[in-house]
Amino acid sequence: MTAVRGGRVEARAARRARRYGTWYATEYRLRLMRAYGGTILAGTLANPLIYIFALGVGLATLVEQKTGPLSAGGHGYLAFVAPALLGIAALTVAMEESTYAVMAGFKWDQTFFAMNAAPLSPAQVASGNVVIVILRLLVGCSVYQVLLFAFGAVPSPWGWLTVLVAVLCGTAVAACLVAFSSSLEGEDSPLALVMRFVITPMMLFSGTFFPLANLPVFLQPIGWVSPLWHATELGRVLNYGAVEPAWLSVLHVAYLLALTAVGWLLAIRVTTSRLSR
């Protein structure tokens, strides 16, 4: 009788794991964050303040002395750059949580193999790695936006939607990075190359600190394919009413959604292949 009762309990636990496996994988990553929770908290508060003071108080003063306010309606340089700062913060979180932490689950502690040995599917493991980034993006970008609002960098009532745009941008990048990190079996040096030759150029050549049109023509395509450029341009429409055609705003959203979907599907496919060996 005890064995039968134990079997029923195990069967219910297995069904629950199959149903909520994505959330179990997310919870595992969330518990791991407690080990470096102080670093996350410090970065969430300190990084925005450093960027806001450096760009909004320091650089903005120099820029506006020479050219006047860059943003529509004369709202100032900080309002112009605020959506880009949110997008860069989102990229930073995506890079932090979608690279070494994912690689560790496959190579160093092999936790994802243990999850797959339980009722969790590879798709749930991959989705958990993306969902945890979304949760951290929502918290981090919301705190950033509150600080931007306190500094007067969110003049439009629609500016709060910039948080969702930044989260979508970070999710698109994170999903692709989860797929890439899940494929690595050797050393982690390719992740450093991604940071150097993908993430850093994306931050510099996506119309972040100055309009993309100010770049040489041969560098502008980098911005066009960058999710950060799409998020920044759409964020400026919401933040202070930058003027752009409606079809372009729709294109920004469609591009970010498509990149998220493709990256997420690739993450599931690569994770499934890796865990099925």
Map out the domains of the chain as residue ranges: 2-275
Q: What pLDDT does 141 receive?
A: 94
The DSSP symbol for 73 reads G
Nearest CA to 24 among 132, 109, 105, 98? Answer: 132
The amino acid occupying position 116 is N
For 188-220, the pLDDT digits (tens) are: 778 888 988 898 889 888 988 888 888 888 888
Q: What pLDDT does 118 receive?
A: 82
Number of CB atoms found within 10 A of residue 8's CB: 10
Q: What pLDDT does 247 receive?
A: 96
Q: What pLDDT does 158 receive?
A: 93
Q: What is the rounded CA–CA span in Å between residue 172 and residue 149?
A: 25
Q: Which two tokens stand for residue 7?
A: 């079997």
Cβ-proximal residues to 36 (8 Å cutoff; 6+ apart), any chain: none
Q: What pLDDT does 4 receive?
A: 46
Q: What stretches in the chain show pLDDT beneath 70?
A: 1-18, 56-74
By the 8 A CB rule, do 267 and 182 touch? yes
SS3 184: coil
Categorise residue 228: left if φ over 0, alpha if ψ from -120 to 50, beta otherwise.
alpha
By the 8 A CB rule, do 232 and 121 touch? no
Residue 6: alpha-carbon gap to chain centroid: 42
SS3 221: helix
Nearest CA to 116 among 24, 33, 191? Answer: 24
Q: What pLDDT does 178 receive?
A: 96
